[in-house]
Amino acid sequence: MKNLIVFLIIVGAVIFLYKKFDKPKPILNPVYGEARVTIGDLNPIEMVIYTAAADEKECQEQLRLLKMSLPKSVTDSCPGPTCKIGKLECKNELARRHLKLFDNEPTFVAYISLAPGASDEREMRIIYWGLPAEMSNQICDSIPEFRANGWKGKIRCIQAAN
């Protein structure tokens, strides 16, 4: 449960960053940003954030801002060596199983789908690997946190497939 709280704090920082973008261009051929944060040593949980950017430049800017905010949110909410910021990269294509997330298709764990509702928001998906399906469904309880952090778009929890 502590790890879930840590993830929620990190997610709040992520949402704050996405509020900094002005007037996005329509996204015709998205470039996908991927950021990973691992918490725990023995049975680690990995939070993966996927975004859809208008182009490579916008994606790199999203990841740059994310990289600047994650170290503080990770160290504030999870001190010590058990929290690690992993891969931050932009890709022209996602693996098919990850691309399904942008169609809000269920996977074997629950995830959060954030759709843009303002000009400064982007499509974003947040998934937690390493949680049992039952526990991953508890992330649905975190949706009010996104609203509290000012996300204007539609927020859905996509429940794990049975």
Helix count (H) and strand count (E) of the chain? Answer: 5, 6
- Helix segments in the chain, DSSP class H: 2-18, 56-77, 96-99, 133-136, 143-148
Amino acid, res. 10: I
Q: Are strands 155-158 and 31-39 parallel, antiparallel or unpaired?
A: unpaired
Residue 109: per-residue pLDDT: 83
Beta-bridge mates of residue 156: 113
Q: What span, in angstroms and rounded, lies between the C-alpha atoms of 53 and 61? A: 10
Q: What is the mean pLDDT of residues 73-90?
A: 71
- How high does pLDDT run on average in the chain? 78
Residues 6+ apart with CB under 8 A from 127: 47, 48, 50, 101, 107, 109, 111, 112
Q: What is the mean pLDDT of residues 78-107?
A: 85
What span, in angstroms and rounded, lies between the C-alpha atoms of 105 and 113?
A: 10
Given a cut of 70, whether residue 73 has pLDDT beyond it is no
Q: Are the C-beta atoms of residues 116 and 19 closer than 8 Å to each other?
A: no
What was the pLDDT predicted at 22? 44
Picking from 149, 58, 144, 52, the residue whose alpha carbon sits closest to that of residue 104 is 52
pLDDT in tens, 26-46: 688 999 999 988 877 777 788
Choose among 96, 95, 160: nearest CA to 129. 160
User: How far is it, in rounded angstroms, from Cα 109 to Cα 65?
Assistant: 27
pTM: 0.76
Domains within the chain, CATH numbers bracketed: 2-158 (3.40.1550)
Per-residue confidence (pLDDT) for residue 87, from 0 to 100: 84
Tens of pLDDT, residue by residue over 113-133, are 988 887 777 888 988 888 777
Instruction: Tell me the average pLDDT across 125-154.
Output: 76
**pLDDT interval class at 146 (50, 70, 90):** low
